[in-house]
Structure 1
Amino acid sequence: MTLAGVEGEDRQDYTREESRAIRARSSRLLGSLLRPLRGRVVVAMLIVATSTALQTAGPALIAFGIDAGLPAILNHQDAMPLAVVVLLYLGAAIVGAVLMWHYTMLSARISQAFLFDLRGRIYRHAQLLSLEFHESYTSGRIIARQTNDLDSIRELLDSGIQGLIRGALYMVFIAATLLFLDPISALVIACSVPVLLVLTRWFQVTSQRAFRATRVHSARLIVKFVETMTGIRAVKAFRAEQRNAGEFGATNESYRDANAKAIGVFGIFDPSLVVIGNIVVAVVLLVGGLRVADGGLAVGVLLAALMYTRRFFDPMEEMAQFYNSYQSASAALEKISGVLEESPSVPDPVRPVDLWTAKGALDFDDVRFAYHEDRVILPDFELHIPAGQTVALVGSTGAGKSTLAKLVARFYDPTDGVVRLDGVDLRDVHPKDLRRAIVMVTQEAYLFSGTVADNIALGKPGATLDEIRAAAHAVGADTFIEALPQGYDTDVNKRGGRVSAGQRQLLSFARAFLADPAVLILDEATASLDIPSERLVQEGLTTLLADRTAIVIAHRLSTVAIADRVLVMEHGRIVEDGTPAELIGGDGRFATLHKAWRDSLV
């Protein structure tokens, strides 16, 4: 599935070819999930079939007890036939109940194994997908896949499938038994089947459309909620609560209306089933009663026929409930399969090249990059950065600086041309070697829930506490860490809320220092810091950049001063290239920027 397909997954107006492709995609996913469980599934089917058959035997045993057991007592004072029927009836009920208990436990294990596998696949695959996917696919939608959609599938597995299987088998067994006991009553039921098929087909088509709409509106509701809570600072800053409440209310109302329409379908289907069932029961009673009066039918058989007729329609309601769950689960599986079908736009190399000890030389050879065909960011870009050189990228917003950094980190691949590390195409470097050789520190110093030590160790999983302490000391972070309540064992809270912005940035520097990459990229790493925090970070920055290739993207020219070389970019091209001193002494764009910066300090 292409990214465009994922972006349009909430559509409701699929073409026939698109619908067929989506169903095939979902079927492949379903098959791969059920394949390891097929042995347990077969056993579960045998159990439920046996249990249902035993439950179906009840009315037939009652008929035999009435027509054979009672006359034996009345005419011959022989209670044995009736006693045998009672024992068989109780035995069938007990064995059926035990089998259903086994089925319930087994189906629960199957359901949990299915969901465990699917939940893990979503999480692992979402992490492997490229940055392009995550920049296009909102966090609310991916959360909906892992929560709301999985809940729909769980509901189907836990109760819906059981209702379908038992209901379908029950109807088949009833039809077969009734055909054996009283073919005329079976014929009366058969006359209602065409009406049931028409009603069921209408329900299938209408409910499918209705429940797809509820899934769409449910996803939109989750997206709106997650985006609001994630951006709560901006909401508070711009007093957007009332406006957001109005937008959420409109989305919520659309979801309510969609649910009302879906429920309305059941409002027609369920009563129609009841009416048809009662009509058939009345006809069986009428026809059977006349035959009993003529002596053509035993009373016990008539009673069994009535019980079977009533029970024949009961599973229809359960199966309708199944279809409710099925529609939700089917739509959920379609969306999940869309995510799992999505392939990384930055794939791992087929024949990876090992690069154990990278030196850090970077080359851009005839590189062209465009996010979309009509949005070219880097046209015919050429650049060589020797190993160990610190390069500062300067330019206006949209000049292509961050894009260049993302190409070096291989968050994206060039549209044309090659980016090389030590002469090797980045697309051929082994992923582990690439992540070890190139590290990127962004403006948002993201900290995960856990201790300070855990967050620093992200740069080198398995690092010892001594190594973590050494990395923190090297970038000047050890002073504030040791002042924390539990030092390196202090929980930083969600997203690092316990430490300041400057301290978070120092922790991210310590993380990068511990990783010890050959190439370090700093993308506006000090842009959000105040002057005291920037000075604190600047000292750690000098240590961090020593003896490695570095690409520093910064609007603050104080950060640029530590660079060996400055590249001024405009519209995806390098318009100035030189040392900071050379460019400051000239009359180009960098000199103008530097003069404006110095004047702002005064």
Structure 2
Amino acid sequence: MTVTGVAGEERHDFTKAESKQIRQRSLRLLRSLLHPVRGTLWLTMAVVLVSTLAQVAGPALIAYGIDRGLPALVEGEWMPVAFAGFAYLFTGVVGAFLIAWYIRLAARISQAVLIDLRTRIFLHTQKLSLEFHESYTSGRIISRQTSDLDAIRELLDEGVNALVRGTLYMGFTGIALVLLDPVSGLVLAGSILPLALLTRWFQQRSQRLFRRSRTASANLIVQFVETMTGIRAVQAFRTERRNRKEFGRLVEDYRDVNARVIQLFGIYDPGLILIGNVTVAVVLLVGGLRVIDGQLEIGVLLAALLYTRRFFDPLEDMAMFYNGYQSAASALEKISGVLEEDPSVPDPRDPVDLWKADGRVRFEGVEFAYTPERMVLPRFDLDIPAGQTIALVGSTGAGKSTLAKLIARFYDPSDGVVELDGVDLRRLHPKDLRRAIVMVTQEAYLFSGSVADNIRLGKPDATPEEIIAAAKAVGAHEFIEGLPSGYDTDVNKRGGRVSAGQRQLISFARAFLADPAVLILDEATSSLDIPSERAVQEGLQTLLADRTAVIIAHRLSTVAIADRVLVMEHGRIVEDGAPAELIGGSGRFAKLHAAWRDSLV
């Protein structure tokens, strides 16, 4: 897994090789997004091609009407003028109709691409392993789904329209001018060099600034989201002033980058206007002299002026397209980086089914390191018989939570095998794994919805009676009944209507309703007060019967319900035995228990 690679995309100082790889990755993603709508895409291109031709025909028809229709009308022949008028009207109507059709087709493509991309991000980030989510902040994920997708939407809705129609319009206009009056075409060709130099200058400077602008915008979103997510810690530690300074710095950086972008446009836009006006003036001067000499007709000169002026009209919109393109390209790079991430815990290619697990867990020669320099479990062996309740105790950083995450397969071992009923977890079918092993962590997360909905998460088809029975088993029924709407009470995001201890009880009910073969409690009683903890322990003794349980707790009162205690230090088991046996000894657990008992006194 290359989480550091994704994080690195917040930089804007890539090497040429890195930039090439990122562009190729983004193009692959773009092709995959456009492939399902390729039929509509080809139709859209045909529509915009015909509509542009209809628009470009206008000045030539005006020239025909002036140079051929007016002299004929003087002689009493009205057909040429009528033809020019009706043809001009027809091309205008057809052009307007096709443009309206094009806008609808482009919107259809845009929405299809965005829905596909938004769904991909959501589904893929769900599948990515815990390692990714512990490295890639929630603010950055939200930025991918919000500001980055908005940038792509703006490009698809407006930018591509400006580019495609603008490019075709300029190309057809230039061709029409050359066919109508080659001399005026040469004058227009003379403006291409300064126009190209100005555009190149703009591109070189704007590319870096637009990338910085996207990064600055993402940093703002990350700072805001993380501050609001951790608002309790912010207010508890009075970090508002420090956060204000940091957010102010990010706002200033964002403003400065955008100010420099505006300065670029302040040079580029007037430059375009200047080149266009000079070109029109030269065409008028040269054409006027030729009209006086009889070398050029008035209608052709008027059409040449119209074509020259119109040639420069799309350039400003195309410059704005470049703005949107840079933002969207930067956004697509970041999104493609997320979508290219492979889960560090991949699903097996040929999964082994385990419809009914007994719950025997075995570690054989397991080594695990978060990084090469951070070895957590050095050569670890452990056998947990089915139905046994073990308690893991030890100092912080001893490896207890890592052991639990390996059992739940949030991580895979760097070496060795973790088995459930003799099946390597890496080969076990994901559905069977999630059904057989459930982990309740210290953070009891509740989703928006009712209390019953949150408990039902452990068994989506559970009946109200089963939900109530699970709540009663863990001692949650009484407080749930006291809520405004009982089990139908909306807990709001993160359980705003219930306390931390009550959230933990609801998460217990959710886990017990799932009825796993292996239940892992990682500091799961830390949010409970003493009476609540005793009530839960009574429920645990009943509900943990006939299932394998791994309990990680600093409160040694929780250890009392365990059949076996494992004391860990530096990733190794230093003591292993029944609670009463270890308490009666003189080892590490006996000292911990004595210190805990003295603290109660």
- With the shorter chain as reference, the TM-score category is over 0.9
Q: Does the 8 Å CA contact 1:366/1:382 hold for their aligned counterparts? A: yes
| Paired position in structure 1 for 2:128 | 129
Amino acid at match of 2:56: T
Cα distance between partner residues in 2 of 1:544 and 1:338 = 44
Aligned counterparts, 1:210-359, within 5 A:
210-359=209-358
Aligned counterparts, 1:408-419, within 5 A:
408-419=407-418
| Paired position in structure 1 for 2:527 | 528
| Paired position in structure 2 for 1:583 | 582
- CA offset digits 1:427-486 (Å, max 9, x no partner): 010000000000000111111000111111111122222322222232232222223222
Cα distance between partner residues in 1 of 2:461 and 2:290 = 84
Q: Does the 8 Å CA contact 1:502/1:536 hold for their aligned counterparts? A: no
Aligned counterparts, 1:468-487, within 5 A:
468-487=467-486
Shift of 1:570: 0.5
- CA offset digits 1:211-230 (Å, max 9, x no partner): 00101111111111111101
Shift of 1:528: 2.3
1:73 maps to 2:73? yes
Cα distance between partner residues in 1 of 2:155 and 2:117 = 14
Shift of 1:263: 1.9
2:561 aligned counterpart, secondary structure: coil
- CA offset digits 1:87-107 (Å, max 9, x no partner): 111111111111111111111
1:205 maps to 2:204? yes
| Paired position in structure 2 for 1:15 | 15
Cα distance between partner residues in 1 of 2:435 and 2:201 = 59
Cα distance between partner residues in 2 of 1:276 and 1:501 = 68
| Paired position in structure 2 for 1:390 | 389
Return 316-325 or 327-336, whichever deviates more: 316-325
Cα distance between partner residues in 1 of 2:192 and 2:488 = 70
| Paired position in structure 2 for 1:101 | 100
| Paired position in structure 1 for 2:163 | 164
Cα distance between partner residues in 1 of 2:317 and 2:310 = 12
Shift of 1:546: 1.9
- CA offset digits 1:245-280 (Å, max 9, x no partner): 001101111111111122222122111111111111
Shift of 1:316: 1.2
| Paired position in structure 1 for 2:24 | 24
Cα distance between partner residues in 2 of 1:539 and 1:94 = 81
Q: Does the 8 Å CA contact 1:502/1:537 hold for their aligned counterparts? A: no
Cα distance between partner residues in 1 of 2:9 and 2:459 = 38
2:557 aligned counterpart, secondary structure: helix
Cα distance between partner residues in 1 of 2:331 and 2:286 = 47
Identity of aligned residues (%): 72
Runs of 5+ consecutive residues of structure 1 not aligned to the other structure: none
| Paired position in structure 2 for 1:512 | 511
2:431 aligned counterpart, secondary structure: helix
Shift of 1:383: 0.7
| Paired position in structure 2 for 1:598 | 597
Q: Does the 8 Å CA contact 1:509/1:540 hold for their aligned counterparts? A: no
Shift of 1:384: 0.8
- CA offset digits 1:53-79 (Å, max 9, x no partner): 1111111111111111111222x1333
Cα distance between partner residues in 2 of 1:559 and 1:33 = 53
Cα distance between partner residues in 2 of 1:301 and 1:537 = 92
Cα distance between partner residues in 2 of 1:23 and 1:544 = 54
Q: Does the 8 Å CA contact 2:566/2:573 hold for their aligned counterparts? A: yes
Cα distance between partner residues in 1 of 2:207 and 2:542 = 62
Q: Does the 8 Å CA contact 2:446/2:491 hold for their aligned counterparts? A: yes
Q: Does the 8 Å CA contact 2:504/2:527 hold for their aligned counterparts? A: no
Cα distance between partner residues in 1 of 2:194 and 2:370 = 55
1:216 aligned counterpart, secondary structure: helix
1:252 aligned counterpart, secondary structure: helix
- CA offset digits 1:291-343 (Å, max 9, x no partner): 00000000010000001000101111111111110000000000000000000
Amino acid at match of 2:367: R
Q: Does the 8 Å CA contact 2:537/2:561 hold for their aligned counterparts? A: no
| Paired position in structure 2 for 1:569 | 568
| Paired position in structure 1 for 2:451 | 452
| Paired position in structure 2 for 1:466 | 465
Cα distance between partner residues in 2 of 1:26 and 1:298 = 52
1:520 aligned counterpart, secondary structure: strand
Q: Does the 8 Å CA contact 2:353/2:428 hold for their aligned counterparts? A: yes
Shift of 1:532: 2.9
| Paired position in structure 1 for 2:61 | 61
Shift of 1:157: 0.4
Cα distance between partner residues in 2 of 1:361 and 1:16 = 52
- CA offset digits 1:545-566 (Å, max 9, x no partner): 2211000000001101110000
Shift of 1:203: 1.7
Cα distance between partner residues in 1 of 2:302 and 2:427 = 77
Cα distance between partner residues in 2 of 1:126 and 1:222 = 18
Q: Does the 8 Å CA contact 2:475/2:532 hold for their aligned counterparts? A: no
Cα distance between partner residues in 2 of 1:375 and 1:152 = 39
Amino acid at match of 1:154: R
| Paired position in structure 1 for 2:146 | 147
- CA offset digits 1:393-431 (Å, max 9, x no partner): 000000000000000000000011111111111101000
Return 143-152 or 80-89, whichever deviates more: 80-89
Shift of 1:496: 1.1
| Paired position in structure 2 for 1:558 | 557
Q: Normalising by structure 1, what TM-score?
A: 0.98
Cα distance between partner residues in 2 of 1:235 and 1:467 = 40
Return 533-542 or 303-312, whichever deviates more: 533-542
Amino acid at match of 1:84: F
Instruction: Name the Cα RMSD after superposition.
Output: 1.1
2:366 aligned counterpart, secondary structure: strand
| Paired position in structure 1 for 2:494 | 495
Cα distance between partner residues in 2 of 1:33 and 1:566 = 54
Aligned counterparts, 1:396-411, within 5 A:
396-411=395-410
Cα distance between partner residues in 2 of 1:532 and 1:314 = 77
Cα distance between partner residues in 2 of 1:494 and 1:139 = 15
2:567 aligned counterpart, secondary structure: strand
Cα distance between partner residues in 2 of 1:461 and 1:165 = 49
| Paired position in structure 1 for 2:39 | 39
- CA offset digits 1:117-170 (Å, max 9, x no partner): 000000000000000000000000000000000000000000100011110010
- How many residue pairs get aligned? The number is 601
Cα distance between partner residues in 2 of 1:568 and 1:330 = 53
Q: Does the 8 Å CA contact 2:216/2:254 hold for their aligned counterparts? A: yes
Shift of 1:178: 0.9
Cα distance between partner residues in 2 of 1:530 and 1:516 = 25
Q: Does the 8 Å CA contact 1:475/1:543 hold for their aligned counterparts? A: no
Cα distance between partner residues in 2 of 1:463 and 1:333 = 42
- CA offset digits 1:467-524 (Å, max 9, x no partner): 2222223223222222322222221111111122222112111111111100000000
Cα distance between partner residues in 2 of 1:536 and 1:302 = 95
Runs of 5+ consecutive residues of structure 2 not aligned to the other structure: none
| Paired position in structure 1 for 2:52 | 52
1:428 aligned counterpart, secondary structure: coil
Q: Does the 8 Å CA contact 2:54/2:92 hold for their aligned counterparts? A: yes
Cα distance between partner residues in 2 of 1:487 and 1:500 = 15
Shift of 1:27: 0.6
Amino acid at match of 1:262: V
